[in-house]
Amino acid sequence: MPWFCYVSRVIVRILLFLLTRCQVKGRENIPRQGPLLIVSNHLSLADPPLLYLTVDRKMMFMAKNQLFRLRLIGYLVRSFGGFPVHRGQLDRQALRQAYQVLADGLALVVFPEGMRSRRGQLQPAFFGVALIASRSGAPILPVGISGTEKLERLSWLWRRPQITVNIGHPFHLPPSRSKLTRGELAELTHSIMHHIAELLPQEYRGDYADEN
pLDDT tens digit string along 157-195? 677 889 999 999 999 987 776 788 889 999 999 999 999
How far is it, in rounded angstroms, from Cα 61 to Cα 84?
9
In the predicted structure, residue 69 carries a pLDDT above the cut 90: no
What per-residue confidence (pLDDT) applies to 83?
83
In the predicted structure, residue 37 carries a pLDDT above the cut 70: yes
Three-state DSSP class for 36?
strand
Q: Which CATH number fits domain 3-211: 3.40.190.10, 3.40.1130.10, 3.30.70.2080, 3.30.2350.10?
A: 3.40.1130.10
Element (H, E) at 12: helix 3-19
Please count the other Cβ atoms lying within 10 Å of the Cβ belonging to residue 183: 8
- Give the domain ranges of the chain: 3-211
Mean pLDDT of 113-130: 91
Position 89 confidence tier, pLDDT thresholds 50, 70, 90: low
- For residue 171, give the DSSP letter: B
What per-residue confidence (pLDDT) applies to 150?
87
Mean pLDDT of 95-120: 92
Position 212 confidence tier, pLDDT thresholds 50, 70, 90: very low
**Closest by Cα among 126, 113, 136 to 40:** 113
Three-state DSSP class for 153?
coil
What per-residue confidence (pLDDT) applies to 201?
96
Mean pLDDT of the chain: 86
Q: Compare 89 and 133 and report the one with higher pLDDT.
A: 133
Amino acid making up residue 128? G
- Secondary structure tally for the chain: helices H, strands E: 6, 7
Mean pLDDT of 41-53: 90
Beta bridge partners of 22: 163
Decide if 94 contacts 86 (C-beta within 8 A).
yes
pTM: 0.88
Instruction: List the alpha helices (DSSP H) in 20-107.
Output: 47-54, 71-79, 92-103
- Crossing angle of helices 92-103 and 128-136, rounded to 10°: 40
For 128-153, write each residue's pLDDT tens digit: 999 999 989 999 999 999 999 988 77
How far is it, in rounded angstroms, from Cα 123 to Cα 205?
8
In the predicted structure, residue 211 carries a pLDDT above the cut 60: no
Question: What is the CA angle 135-139-142, rounded to 5?
Answer: 115
